Amino acid sequence: MNDAVLITGASGGIGAACARAAAERGFRVALHYHGAEQKARALAAELRAGGCDAEAFGADAADSGSVGACVRAAEARFAHLDGLICCAGVALQKQLQDVTDGEWRRVLDVNLSGAFYFIRAALPGMLARHRGSIVTVSSVWGVRGGSCEAAYSAAKAGLIGLTRALAQEVGPAGVRVNCLAPGVIDTAMCAGFSPETRAALAEETPLGRLGTPEDAARAALFLLEHPFVTGQVLGVDGGF
């Protein structure tokens, strides 16, 4: 039986690309969504049409009970989960003094606490089998910080700390934990950028272009599958 991987935020750009890449690598794929059920179910149908065993599951990443139910449903459907890729996230572009309490909590709840909830729910099964691979998705802003993105940068930096600490904690039990730190990736999060801003970001990137979701997904699958890589933060940013 092929390994099963749960991908959070699988209806988004990087998440959907990870799902397709995992299917191509022979994984059975559990697709998490919140609010984009139609897109997630269409992607599951697309993967099944290509011969992949795939199913979509809904949950609010910011709600631990909802996440726990999602993971239990995925484990029941696929017998167990061998991998977890945490792509679910929300962005916020505001000067810090203008960020409301609610906005701050939402950004941290989805990006950081959401990953924690999914990992905490999936980890017992991995520890029981002494095998598993977890990939968190941070950002270049989590590494270096971004102007007018303090809340997002804080949440993504938290993911890096979570990854490095957890890798030390669960490595002896055979579970690996790594982090992907994408640069400027051409997804819906960039949809609000003007053509001038997009051009400037591409110019700031030494490789001269924005990244694609597929660029990030290939790196995520490398981290998911490599048997001797753990506790690492892999920048996929074109040298940004």
Instruction: Give CA 16 to chain center in angstroms.
Output: 10
Q: Which amino acid is at 224?
A: L
Query: Which residues, at least 6 apart from 42, have a Cβ–Cβ distance to it below 8 Å?
Result: none
Confidence of residue 108 (pLDDT cuts 50, 70, 90): very high
- pLDDT at residue 221 in the model: 98
Query: Which residues, at least 6 apart from 40, have a Cβ–Cβ distance to it below 8 Å?
Result: 10, 11, 31, 32, 33, 56, 58
Token duo for residue 16: 């959907």
Q: What is the b/e burial string over 56-82, where b = at least 16 CB atoms within 10 angstroms of the residue's CB?
A: bbbbbbbbbebbbebbeebbeebebbb
More reliable by pLDDT, 200 or 214: 214
Do residues 57 and 30 make contact, with C-beta atoms less than 8 angstroms apart? yes
Task: Give pLDDT tens digits for 209-220.
Answer: 989 999 999 999
Look up the pTM and report it. 0.95
Enzyme catalytic residues: 152
Cα 193 to Cα 93, 131, 184: the distances in Å are: 11, 41, 11
